[in-house]
A and B are shown apart, each in its own frame.
Chain A
């Protein structure tokens, strides 16, 4: 079956603009995670959904970042007033049921560049 897909694969924007990044998880996976990976670093947790609700948003760096998952499937990560420091690869992962033990399947990521 299809894996986790993310669109767009690359996004270039200007400082101050608004961006939306989309994640399509594996069908039937109830848990969905967003991570951010900067060059030379490991993924950094942003937010985790169980179904439609955000179970843990402790990793969102500030109120410019927001994520939704209205129907418990597709999720959108929204970044307002982008800054150059937001440039990174944004990774989405899903798992069949709540971690910790369940395997998280990662998408290929969206590479965001803020000029």
Chain B
């Protein structure tokens, strides 16, 4: 069983829609929870990072963590065509390396 399961997608939504991206994990040692955005043929870039259960908001993006259910989500409000990319959830223990989900590809149509 993989440590991280991410909703596979692909996901296609109209501009302005609210998008929900989700991951579950099994490793209780994961303490840090991240979302990366990856455009085609580019490296991942960090969008959101949190270490506690609850919500964290940054502009149109909200990261939600539920440690008891081992479930994290990323919400995108008022989605834009420029949000079209692959979104990766990622997890860290105290050991340094990150464990990634396989990504959800999002297309926002004008």
Q: Which residue numbers of A lie inside 8 Å of B, CB to CB?
A: 4, 31, 33, 35, 40-45, 48, 50, 55-56, 58-59, 91, 93, 98-101, 103-109
B96 contacts which of A43, A56, A103 (Cβ < 8 Å)? A56
Stretch at the interface among B12-20, B61-69, B87-95: B87-95
CB–CB A100/B100 < 8 A: no
Residues of B near A35 (CB, < 8 A) are: 98, 100
The residue on B at minimum CB distance from A93 is B43
A43, B44: Cα distance in complex, Å = 9
User: Residue on B with the closest CB to A9?
Assistant: B41
Question: Interface size for chain B: under 10, 10 to 19, 20 to 34, or 35 or more residues?
Answer: 20 to 34
Q: How would you classify the secondary structure of chain A's contact residues: helix, strand, loop or mixed?
A: loop
With contact pairs A56-B97, A59-B97, A100-B31 given, residues A40 and B102 touching in the complex (Cβ less than 8 Å): yes
Is the beta-carbon distance between B95 and A107 smaller than 8 angstroms? no
Min C-beta distance of A59 to chain B, whole Å: 7
Cβ distance B68 to chain A, nearest Cβ, rounded Å: 20
**Nearest Cβ on chain A to B61's Cβ, whole angstroms:** 15
Tell whether, in the assembled complex, residue A48 and residue B96 are in contact, meaning their CB atoms are under 8 Å apart: yes
Contact A98 B44 (CB under 8 A): no
Chain A residues whose C-beta falls within 8 Å of the C-beta of B45 in the assembled complex: 106
Instruction: Select A56's contact among B32, B49, B90, B95, beta carbons within 8 Å.
Output: B95
